[in-house]
């Protein structure tokens, strides 16, 4: 067997089910990897080796409960865990010990998975970064806000990690760290037990080493049967959009998109460039209005009673939300609804849309998690998105390609992403 830390989640589960590997041995190997790399990567907000090994031994004593039985997973530190602290990346909650698990965490435990620990999040999943660094270059950001989950998977410290996205907090760090990032359709994974920032945008998803792993893991958190990814045929049809932010695309992203399109066409697929409808010109502004309006109110307790423990970056990020009127918020929600209805028409001709996952390679700036602008449009639409790795920028750092689908067609989106994954790996 190869190094167990390098196994995909499904491959590891298969080895465990066959008896060639145990959950305890896999967990021990991952703990040793973390021990050797934690000073450089710093992906963990909470980790108790004795506790996680005891949980792995329990899984080994049982019959497999699911196709991911015995596989360890990192949980973003804005999701409740009954046996670990949940700090939300904030000094306001240094000793917060919930009495129960978030719904998605309870479901993965019920499926026989092992909670490895809590992964670092930016403060309340917004802009103020934590200590995590990019596993490919510790002078660069891992992205945010799901920084610990992306870096942990990218560094082979865990095969799977839970992420959340309000602007670009799954897709961007996945691109920067060279892993698969999957943001499902908004609301597909229940958010009970999550510290919600913006009710109309927040989406639970995951980081993984393969699209198949992401599909299986998300299915567990949805409490749905794990379906094999369907065959999209020899000539899948993709649209390509530069999106309103193309001027921000750096050389790494421009070259990656050009290379991805060439490979898709070389493999028999079709790619047609499209312009987004005029309604989309207001979508980014609408996303910002919705996010800040809801976050300013959603963080009312922290803002009103613990402002001295909130970072300046967080206060600045949500301050405009207090100035937005209800009429302004309603305008933004109407733009959101119009764009959702208009975007559906794209999928009468195409199976998925290709677009940048991030402006370029991870910035060399640990105080900045990178711009989410290439993600905000798709988040406000609530549609499924997958960051597919396989390409690199001028500095040799990962650059992902974003595969976007239609709301309610998550499985089809994942199938197209899996096809793209194979093409980019060739």
Please list the active-site residues: 76, 145, 169
Q: How many residues does the chain have?
A: 426
Could you give the residue ranges of the DSSP H alpha helices within 178-210?
Answer: none
**From CA 256, how far away is CA 262, in angstroms rounded?**
10
Q: Which residues 6+ apart lie within 8 Å of 15 measured at CB?
A: 1, 4, 7, 21, 26
First to last CA, the chain: 23
How does DSSP assign 242-256, residue by residue? --TTGGG--HHHHHH
**From CA 71, how far away is CA 22, in angstroms rounded?**
9
Query: How big, in percent rounded to 5, are the helix, strand and coil portions of the chain?
Result: 45, 15, 40
**From CA 169, how far away is CA 202, in angstroms rounded?**
10
Any idea what DSSP says for residue 89?
T
Task: Judge whether 293 and 324 are in contact, CB under 8 Å.
Answer: yes
SS3 211: helix
């Amino acid at each position: 067997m190869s190094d167990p830390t390098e196994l995909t989640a499904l491959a590891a589960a298969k080895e465990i089910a066959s008896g060639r590997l145990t959950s305890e041995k896999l967990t021990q190997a991952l703990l040793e990897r973390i021990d050797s790399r934690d000073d450089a990567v710093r992906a963990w907000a909470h980790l108790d080796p004795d506790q996680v090994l005891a949980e792995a031994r329990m899984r080994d004593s049982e019959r497999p409960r699911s196709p991911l039985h015995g596989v360890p997973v990192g949980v973003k530190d804005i999701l409740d865990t009954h046996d670990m602290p949940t700090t939300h990346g904030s000094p306001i909650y240094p000793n917060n010990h919930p009495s129960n698990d978030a719904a998605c965490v309870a479901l993965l435990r019920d499926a026989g998975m092992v909670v490895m620990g809590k992964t670092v999040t930016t403060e309340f999943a917004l802009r103020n970064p934590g200590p995590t660094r990019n596993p490919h270059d510790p002078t660069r950001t891992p992205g945010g806000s799901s920084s610990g989950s992306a870096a942990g998977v990218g560094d082979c410290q865990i095969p799977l990690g839970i992420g959340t996205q309000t602007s670009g907090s799954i897709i961007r760090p996945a691109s920067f760290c060279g892993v698969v990032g999957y943001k499902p359709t908004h609301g597909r994974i229940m958010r009970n037990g999550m510290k919600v920032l913006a009710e109309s945008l927040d989406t639970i998803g995951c980081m993984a080493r393969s699209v198949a792993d992401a599909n299986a893991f998300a299915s567990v958190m949805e409490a749905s049967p794990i379906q094999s990814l369907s065959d999209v045929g020899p000539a899948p049809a993709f649209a390509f959009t530069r999106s309103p932010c193309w001027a921000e695309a750096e050389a790494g992203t421009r070259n990656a998109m050009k290379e991805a399109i060439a490979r898709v066409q070389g493999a028999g697929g079709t790619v047609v460039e499209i312009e987004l409808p005029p309604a989309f010109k207001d979508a980014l502004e609408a996303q910002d209005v919705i996010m800040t309006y809801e976050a300013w109110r959603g963080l009312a307790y922290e803002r009103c009673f613990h402002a001295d423990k909130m970072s300046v970056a967080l206060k600045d990020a949500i301050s405009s939300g207090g100035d937005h009127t209800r009429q302004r918020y309603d305008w933004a929600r109407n733009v959101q609804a119009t764009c959702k209805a208009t975007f559906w028409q794209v999928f009468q001709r195409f199976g998925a849309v290709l677009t940048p996952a991030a402006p370029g390679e991870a910035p060399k700036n640990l105080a900045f998690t990178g711009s989410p602008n290439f993600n905000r449009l798709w988040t406000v639409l609530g549609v499924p998105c997958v960051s597919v790795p396989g390409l690199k920028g001028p500095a040799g750092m990962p650059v992902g390609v974003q595969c976007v689908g239609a709301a309610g067609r998550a499985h089809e989106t994942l199938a197209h992403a899996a096809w793209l994954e194979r093409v980019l790996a060739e």
